[in-house]
A and B are shown apart, each in its own frame.
Chain A
């Protein structure tokens, strides 16, 4: 692991002027684009491959390899699509990255465009990010005016247009093929793969879809080099990761850490520990769709491999912390409702599984659970996981499976008591005098 930590993606966050073009350029902004313009597209792809940069959107696919898949001889245009549909519950790191330094995203996007010979790039931003879309619009206008976008970018003979497209508020549109459908004006539902987007993506043309944070790593890799990039993080997960921590912690927010940093460091050193000094009960490492972990996993490193070893995923690195007073059944119920509501409806296990699970969980939480509801939930988790058209339903299943795995007794307690045990606790015991001080 790394000796001294130096912020990378967040290094200009203290400086408000970094939001504008001038401030960004003063800090070396767009140097990477100029450098990339002097490189062949193959060299750019090779550099990113060597850096070991992996997609920050959740799946962790090697970025350089993704770019390398794009065929260049199809006679069709190629497209870069930026996935800024950050919708995973608990996740807001892309939001702040763009709010504070929008040009870094444009620069990363431009370099990706050079790498695959793209002339038009699209940024798909979630509909609710109105302010962020205003920030980006302004940055795009500045970049056009300064010649970093448009005809002959940065004084070269290469053209690049960037189009900002606002979504209409659907979680599924963060799934890359649903995003492409939405971008084309179609219904936001995932597409069959193959053909993969790299071969037939936007408008049936070769397309690279990258997460915001992934692309914002690219300029530094070009200017500072592969060796520098690999100084932080682990061998298989190099670089840093912006972690969003929320829930029952003292200082929730976005923190940049080298990949592989143990959860304990983030929880205790950065976020100031569990709120009010209470006990850690459960946490999700990468948004609500990643299987929840418990206090016994507090020393697991935050990287792709370690979390997989612990039975979960890095996902979007959106950590949600629950303490001893939180009801896991209640939390799981809310998460499941989210996935049921956001299911696109296309396939059966996701649509009907989510529908069913929502109703059963509601009943259990509110004290109407029955003995056979827990086996039903167990079956539901099993029958939804890896059975749906896309990964959305795996989120539903992960919540069910992980909460049952670690907190089955809490479910049983709900059914046994006919009420939520944590809420029961707040009720005065029978015979005690109300309001008596201890």
Chain B
């Protein structure tokens, strides 16, 4: 009964039990498959073997010395004995633990790691019990803040090098290094340097002792105080699997959970440290209704009030990108079957056919595909800032030999492993079109994409959907034409789920286009008749209608168009001119003066449901605590509203909702693509003396989900700036660090200037929402625009001249 495995298999014996594993497997991994746990500290499945801690000794029959099972690969017929069956091995492990404990402080009772510490666990389970060491222990100053987020306690460190290997091999942000030697070897960072990596928190989690501790969790809880739940990160579309820890009802920690298909064992610092927003003092957990002012009311009262105003009215729904699949599905159905509108949108741009294609094709490209691709073209995506874990997987692909080419106006943090072609925003399709004809800097990589078949990927970032969305569509067409696999990478935690559920003016659930009769009929078979006619309005269309008085009720669900929409002025006019504004969110924020009714929603830590990654992978999240106050999960609010309007969404429980959703969202073979011709977006013209200003959100900004994550902002946040190419800077007469006025049709702002060669000439970048600038105030509907730059004379320039002359 022999099968033909793709990889060569090796059979060996460990503790008398046979196991067959792929060639190249480490002994420690093979033992795991038999359920044999060999103790270890330095070994980590996603890091290269180090063999440093020496805890995982085993005996291999025929070899005179014990070996470390974390560094030796299996061989056919190998006979391995672990501590379970060999006394020498057991003695060696106990002796090694004694060595590790010599200088380790006995401060477990005050150590953050106490109770979940591999060293403590192993010392308790097989350690020597009493120390024979009678001399003075090593002492160091402690703690040493490596950054506002990470503290180092060198006395506890067992020098396993997991943290330094993580920095070298995974994030590539090589801040940590071992320093000095012998007994004084220690983890160190360059003097004056901060551990400014957006992945720094991972080193805390993989530290096998309490040497690296989290500033936000330091002395905050004991493991036995915590109640935990498995969830998925609420921040971006990477979909990192998380464990959320709650102490006395308050979220105190996020840890990355292992999921080899998604985040491996990692997450980014935003996902790790920005968890206080559900407990923000500004959070509102009671329904409110505007009578004399905004006053608390019962859910029934508010829903009845809202339902009355929706009946027969012109209604529009705007949502953010971080609700659950269930919420979006319920909203999609509510709008179409009860309220009777297609004016619903989760996006902030005009979208494109690329996106519609993506909605119908989940998992067209996955993390695994990225890891094993041979050539990857990344267009319009700053992966580290927008989808950090995808950034890590791209880096991993390079270690497997992939070629990565990034087409973007700014050089991204992939700069050390990928080729970059810098171009002005909007110019990407033009460059690609030239490459298709064998011209320009991308001709070579296009040829490679064409020849690599399944191992060729094209990833298009959310920025390409800005404006007309033509750029994304052109890139999609190009990829399809080359035979490469395409993925439109959404940014927010559940943009993709919203797209799939049909929170979209032209799409029904499952990517079914509203205006394709067959597709629509499939939905109607389950929903009953859809009341609406024709495609609805996009977010911009909805805001324009509101501003023009063509809308009676505007729902703002987990979204604040004043900040989020790339046209703050339009958003303001819309709010001023629509009679009824219904806000459904965690808090009101800047919408407080506009809201007529407020429906309190549950936060991610209180929800049961699914989030969908950029790949289109739905992942379950579980509540870590009860909903706060009388807030409700969004889908329940939608169901309640339907009932208040005399309709019925057809589900009262999550199970019923899942049943129905499953039928519409199950992957289908059908393709519903419409025959749309894309025009090649032309390279935008810039008037003489102007720059092409573009913006996208950086990882750590002033977004509402990083509220109260002060340490994170201190570590990774930056005040707003404008980034210019050296040549442009000199033509505008500005220097690095000086201030300049950025002026557009919509507004103007004074910002410090960063001058660099790592941006395309003619382009200027501002972060979307960093302290000092809401970029939406500079924009008129698209995330890029034409701007002028004007130098501002600073007073200290004068004083500097004086100093020189003196």
Contacts and interface: CB of A to CB of B under 8 A. Distances in A.
B790 to A, nearest CB: 46
A363 B133 CA distance: 12
Interface in A397-431: none
Interface in B742-794: none
Interface string A356-370: 100110010000001
Contacts of A379: 95
B182 A345 contact: yes
Interface stretch (A103-111, A221-229, A385-393): A385-393
Contacts of B71: 192
Contact of A352 (B64, B65, B99): B99
Contact of A351 (B132, B133, B185): B185
Residue among B64, B66, B134, B181 with most chain A CB within 10 A: B181
Contacts of A172: 181
B53 A347 contact: yes
Interface in B50-80: 50-55, 57, 64-66, 71
A195 to B, nearest CB: 12
A170 interface: yes
A349 interface: yes
B182 A351 contact: yes
Nearest to A346: B52
Given A349-B96, A354-B183, A389-B51, 8 more contacts: A342-B182, A343-B181, A345-B182, A345-B185, A347-B52, A347-B53, A351-B159, A355-B183
B630 interface: no
B482 interface: no
B181 A348 contact: no
Nearest to A383: B95
Given A192-B49, A359-B135, A347 B54 contact: yes
Nearest to A172: B181
A1 interface: no
A348 B93 CA distance: 11
Contact of A340 (B51, B66, B103, B183): B183
B178 interface: yes
A386 B183 CA distance: 19
Nearest to A359: B135
A348 B51 CA distance: 10
Contacts of B180: 345
B100 interface: yes
Contacts of B50: 192
B219 interface: no
A346 B184 CA distance: 11
B65 A386 contact: yes
Given A192-B51, A342-B181, A386-B66, A348 B103 contact: no
Nearest to A352: B99
A65 B726 CA distance: 58
Main secondary structure of the interface of A (DSSP, over half): helix
A335 to B, nearest CB: 15
Nearest to A343: B182
A348 B182 CA distance: 10
Contacts of A187: 177-178
Contacts of A360: 135
Contacts of A372: 132
Given A355-B103, A383-B92, A387-B92, A348 B183 contact: no
B183 A352 contact: yes
Contacts of A382: 95
A344 interface: yes
* In the A-B complex, the 5 residue pairs with the closest CB atoms: A345-B185, A352-B99, A383-B95, A355-B183, A359-B135
Interface of A: 170, 172, 187, 189, 192, 340-349, 351-356, 359-360, 363, 370, 372, 376, 379, 382-383, 386-389
B545 interface: no
Nearest to B133: A356
A344 B185 contact: yes
B95 A352 contact: no
Interface in B717-735: none
Interface in B82-105: 92, 95-96, 98-100, 102-103
Contact of B57 (A192, A343, A355, A387): A387
A347 B71 CA distance: 13
Interface in B176-197: 177-178, 180-185
B162 to A, nearest CB: 13
Interface in B152-189: 158-159, 161, 177-178, 180-185
22 contacts: A170-B181, A192-B50, A341-B182, A344-B181, A344-B182, A344-B185, A345-B184, A347-B51, A347-B54, A348-B96, A348-B100, A349-B54, A351-B183, A352-B99, A353-B99, A355-B183, A363-B135, A376-B132, A383-B92, A383-B95, A383-B99, A389-B54
B57 A352 contact: no
A355 B102 contact: yes
Nearest to B64: A386
Contacts, number: 98
Interface string B94-125: 01101110110000000000000000000000
B100 A346 contact: no
Contacts of A383: 92, 95-96, 98-99
Contacts of B100: 348, 352
Given A343-B182, A355-B182, A359-B135, A348 B49 contact: no
A356 B102 contact: yes
B182 A354 contact: yes
A340 B134 CA distance: 18
A348 B92 contact: no
Residue among B54, B66, B103, B180 with most chain A CB within 10 A: B54
Interface string B23-62: 0000000000000000000000000011111110100000
Contacts of B96: 348-349, 383, 387
A337 to B, nearest CB: 10
A9 B154 CA distance: 50
B181 A345 contact: yes
A349 B100 CA distance: 8
A187 B177 CA distance: 9
A189 B181 CA distance: 9
B46 to A, nearest CB: 17
A359 B98 CA distance: 16
A434 to B, nearest CB: 37
A351 B103 CA distance: 11
Nearest to A393: B54
A340 B159 CA distance: 16
A376 B131 CA distance: 11
A300 B72 CA distance: 38
Nearest to B94: A383
Contacts of A363: 135
Contacts of A386: 64-66
A352 B49 CA distance: 21
A324 B71 CA distance: 46
Nearest to A375: B132
Residue among B57, B158, B183, B185 with most chain A CB within 10 A: B183
Contacts of A389: 51-52, 54
Contacts of A192: 49-51, 71
A163 B182 CA distance: 30
B282 to A, nearest CB: 49
A356 B99 contact: yes
A352 B103 contact: yes
A348 B132 contact: no
A388 B71 CA distance: 13
Contacts of B185: 344-346, 351
Interface string B446-466: 000000000000000000000
A135 to B, nearest CB: 29
